[in-house]
Amino acid sequence: MLTSIKENHLTNKGQELGMMYFRVAIILFGAQLVMGLIAAIQFLAPGFLFELFDFSVARMVHINALVVWMLYAMIGATYMMLTDETGHEGVAIGLGKLGFWLLTAAVTVVVLVYIIVQVGPGTEASLWLIHEGREYIEAPRWADIGIVVVVLIFYFNVFATYMKGEKTGIMTVMVANLLALAGLYMAGMFYTDNISMDQFWWWWVIHLWVEATWEVFVGTLAAYALIKIIGAKREIVEMWLWIEVLMLFGSGILGMGHHYFWIGTPEYWWEIGALFSALEPVPLIAMFVHVLYDWGKEQGIAEGRGETASVITNGPAMAWIVTNAFGNFLGAGIWGFFHTLPQVNIYTHGTQFTAAHGHLSFFGAYATILIGMMYYGLQRAYGVQRMKLTFKSKMGIFLTTFGVMGMTIALTIAGYEQVIVERGEMGATWNAFFVAQNLPWYVQAQMWRAIMGVVTLLGFIYLAWDLLTIGKVSKEAEA
């Protein structure tokens, strides 16, 4: 991955910029896992790093690093496919590189402030200089404005290149979706004194990202990757994509109602949230079927021509994309549907069920396909015709997936115990919360979560090692 900086086979400057974004993304992914592990240990030993690096800080860096690395990887993936899809060199890649360095400098400063300063007094100055205190998007206001400037540069690059080049279906969805994705960020930039109103707008960013625009983004990446990696027919892939967009937006936008059940919004959100949330798994099933259908079909056509070789030209990327198809359905679909209906959600809301869903869906729906795109980028950077899975690739996939699944199951058990004891039996009182936190099932589940966190970190080490070496190994094998 690093060797590709000086010598590479990339065909355009946009892809070089894409690789720059991928490199920072993988570093932030590692930081996210380390912070998560610290927070997991603090669940078991609350005194660990107390008043030095509290749980609230570790958790804040953990979830913000998650969002930021994924945004980095998304921007990288977009630059990776921009010229391929439009047939036109990116119009302002130099400006894009400036944006990259500005964003990376800002992220570095923000993370250092999170780690060193941590918290400030409840004044405007804290909002401007330390953090805003909104989960997932806690960047201080100066960084918020900087992010908007950088994203505008990025969007200008994508939009202007699209306007000058070929307008494929994939790129049309990408351009329209990115406008929504970037625009929604601004809904989380202003403050109101009313917590219900504040949460109302905050969900516009979080929900409409992860259950609408990000899912559509994944759809476009999968469409592009299937064309490039298994030679799927564009017309078929784009037709799937349009149907997925219809279903994802059709269910996902009003599915936001499931976040409005208990925050002081009108009660009609119960019916709206319940109905559209219930529909949200349908496009995920479609995306799951789509990947497997295209793969089976292309392999069948190749075998019909008498070819014995696999149609897959990038083993690790395809393995991660197939993991995405399963992970998206399991994490976002099953673990989301568990507790999306208001009658159940009134008991599960804010328990470890939410954390279980969050872990598996962020990993299954987003991390997997973005890592797949990194492998695709490496294949292009090294000019390799066929990239095969190495031992490290397999260990990377197996250990991270096993670790995240393990964490999810452990957190589900902890959440189930909370639902039964804290909510069902003890009525969700303040005392009930602490009683439930100290019961053996909860404590043991948290212990297993920490163990599985270590397994995930080991998987990440294999993944990072593989990303650093697989290009050279594949190149030598082909020579």
Partner 1 sequence: MNELIVRPEITPDMFLPIFTISTLVLVFGVAYAATITLAKMGYFSKKWMNLGYLFWALQTYSLYLLSVWIQSEPFTSKVLMVTMLAYLFIPHLYFRLIEDSDRRYDSGNNIAEQKN
Per CB under 8 A, 263 contacts partner 1: no
Contacting range for partner 1; rule: CB under 8 A; set: 124-132, 215-223, 235-243, 356-364: 235-243
If the CB atoms of residues 125 and 285 are measured against partner 1, the closer one turns out to be 285
Per CB under 8 A, 281 contacts partner 1: yes
Written as one letter, the residue type at 70 is: M
Task: Say how many C-beta atoms besides its own lie within 10 A of residue 109's C-beta.
Answer: 14
Tokens of 147: 């992010």
If the CB atoms of residues 51 and 267 are measured against partner 1, the closer one turns out to be 267
Per CB under 8 A, 166 contacts partner 1: no
Per CB under 8 A, 235 contacts partner 1: yes
Written as one letter, the residue type at 47 is: G
Footprint (CB under 8 A) of partner 1, residues 395-424 = 416, 419-420, 424
Tokens of 401: 């997936």
Per CB under 8 A, 239 contacts partner 1: yes
Report the nearest approach of partner 1 to the CB of residue 252 (Å). Answer: 16
Report the nearest approach of partner 1 to the CB of residue 302 (Å). Answer: 14
Task: Say how many C-beta atoms besides its own lie within 10 A of residue 306's C-beta.
Answer: 6
**What residue has token string 């989380």?**
188
Per CB under 8 A, 264 contacts partner 1: no
Q: Which of 243, 395, 447, 451 binds partner 1 (CB under 8 A)?
A: 243
Torsion angles phi and psi, residue 387, rounded to 5: -105, 120
Cα distance between residue 418 and residue 426, in whole Å: 10
User: SS3 letters for 132-199?
Assistant: CCCCCCCCCHHHHHHHHHHHHHHHHHHHHHHHHCCCCHHHHHHHHHHHHHHHHHHHHCCCCCCHHHHH
Cα distance between residue 428 and residue 436, in whole Å: 10
If the CB atoms of residues 274 and 355 are measured against partner 1, the closer one turns out to be 274
Per CB under 8 A, 439 contacts partner 1: no
Report the nearest approach of partner 1 to the CB of residue 233 (Å). Answer: 6
Cα 298 to Cα 39, 172, 281, 294, 303: the distances in Å are 45, 25, 26, 6, 9
Torsion angles phi and psi, residue 208, rounded to 5: -70, -15
Contacting range for partner 1; rule: CB under 8 A; set: 8-16, 114-122, 173-181, 343-351: 343-351
Report the nearest approach of partner 1 to the CB of residue 416 (Å). Answer: 7
Per CB under 8 A, 333 contacts partner 1: yes
Residue ranges in contact with partner 1 by CB under 8 A: 233, 235-236, 239, 243, 267, 271, 274-275, 278-279, 281-282, 285-286, 288-289, 292-293, 296-297, 300, 329, 333-334, 337-338, 341, 343-344, 346-347, 416, 419-420, 424-425
